[in-house]
Amino acid sequence: MPENHARKPEPRHDGASEVPTVPVSSTPAEGPEASEPVHRRDRQGSKAAGKSAGNPLLGWLKEIATVVVIAVVLSFLIKTFLFRAFFIPSESMVNTLDVDDRIFVNLLVPEPFALSRGDVVVFRDTKGWLGPAPAKAQGPFTWVQDGLTFVGLLPDNSEQHLVKRVIGLPGDHVVCCDAGGKLTINGTSVDETYINPAEVPQVRNFDVTVPEGKVWVMGDNRNHSADSRAHMETDGGFVDLKDLEGKAAIIAWPLNRIKTLDNYPDVFKNVPAAR
């Protein structure tokens, strides 16, 4: 007799049920309740994308500011430890240096690298060779110029520095002049090929021995240079090594004069060491 009850499926030997599994549809349910979270997610995604993209102008300004800061920091470090720019205001070093030349000075001379005869050096005027500094005219952007000079982006034009060529090192005996009108250093005459050839140098006699810690300096434009010869009443005309800013290495401006500066080793190669 047939049974009215539905036949229960018998369990399979492997323990799995024979009842078919209804797959869960991956299609989102229809209706406003289901679509609302999707729209919210879309709006949140759009906001995130807009935030990540950012304002292009703001991004550009940030990049420019970063470059400027890096340039200023590097310039300050270079100016403090390696090179410093100076402006040439006078004709005392013509033809080697012209008025309005801009030069870079190697700050590693005289320490840790040694100074040599013939080096062109920049030094601070601590002995009053230049007289009192003139009052500086103040303008609305003077602080900008001072700041750029401080960090090394502009050359120092304070006019309280001098530039000359080292002729005598500590211990050297420097005399002007021998029978031929030439300087002698430690008894040896030198042929100064760097002197301005436009004029014959006037003979100004002197006989000095350079003390320890000092140097004797002279300009290449001998007839127009108030150098050690002109200041012998002030500490013998000698310049303290501690006042040296460094060795002038390169003419950086104007562009048609860019070159490295020579210390003419051949001029001094036969000069014996100081006794």
**Residues classed as catalytic:** 92, 164
Q: DSSP 3-state helix, strand, coil percentages of the chain (rounded to 5)? A: 30, 20, 50
Q: Determine phi and psi for 57, rounding to 5 degrees.
A: -65, -40
Complete DSSP assignment for 105-129: EETTTTTTSPP-TT-EEEEE--S-S
* Closest of 216, 221, 207 to residue 235, by C-alpha: 216
Which amino acid belongs to residue 114? A
Q: Angle CA(81)–CA(260)–CA(273) in degrees, nearest 5?
A: 80
SS3 67: helix
Cis, peptide link before residue 177, omega less than 30° from 0: yes
